[in-house]
A and B are shown apart, each in its own frame.
Chain A
Amino acid sequence: RKEVEQDPGPFNVPEGATVAFNCTYSNSASQSFFWYRQDCRKEPKLLMSVYSSGNEDGRFTAQLNRASQYISLLIRDSKLSDSATYLCVALSYNTDKLIFGTGTRLQVFP
């Protein structure tokens, strides 16, 4: 079983739609969580950290449920520029390694 699992998608949604991605992690020692965004053939870019209390940054909301070992990302009012692969990432408490999911592809169409 992979340490971080995501639905690879693709999610094809129209502009203005709300879309949610889920992610599960298997290592309870994971300390911190992040969502990164990766455009085709580019480097991953930090989108937001994920806190237990939930956090929001504009149209993006991230949630963490430690009991269920589950992370989510909600994107409201999707824009064409949101089209990318979204990577769920766990930071191991013991090793400081970032463990990446394989990503969820989002395609927003006009």
Chain B
Amino acid sequence: NAGVMQNPRHLVRRRGQEARLRCSPMKGHSHVYWYRQLPEEGLKFMVYLQKENIIDESGMPKERFSAEFPKEGPSILRIQQVVRGDSAAYFCASSPRREGSEQYFGPGTRLTVT
């Protein structure tokens, strides 16, 4: 059973470009969570999605950030017009159910904005 997969593992973008981060949950998991970890800081929740639904996006910046989890295919975190402050590690986690579930993390995408 493959774990949570994320790609790309490393992404370099210039200021103003768009970044697209992909996450494929573990087989059988329909709940996906995105987290951001800034250098030397803890992980911060961004958004929680189920298939075709955003359940909680309270941790997402209001502008430039969006997320989706379509019926088919991976979950996508999109950052438009990136700025240097977006440089961070972005982790995706998945769980098989909602209540009190343990979450399993992917290897992360390290975004560097130059």
Which residues of A line the B interface, CB within 8 A? 31-32, 34, 41-46, 49, 87, 91, 95-103
Contacts and interface: CB of A to CB of B under 8 A. Distances in A.
B45 A32 contact: no
Contacts of B108: 42-43
A18 to B, nearest CB: 26
B85 interface: no
Contacts, number: 56
Interface string B39-59: 001111100100000011011
Contact of B102 (A41, A49, A99, A103): A49
B103 interface: yes
Contact of B43 (A32, A46, A91, A100): A100
Interface of B: 31, 33, 35, 41-45, 48, 55-56, 58-59, 89, 91, 93, 98-108, 110
A98 B59 CA distance: 11
A87 B105 CA distance: 13
Given A98-B93, A102-B41, 16 more contacts: A31-B99, A32-B100, A34-B102, A41-B89, A41-B110, A42-B107, A43-B105, A45-B105, A87-B42, A87-B43, A96-B31, A96-B101, A98-B33, A98-B43, A99-B45, A102-B42
A97 B48 contact: yes
A41 B40 CA distance: 10
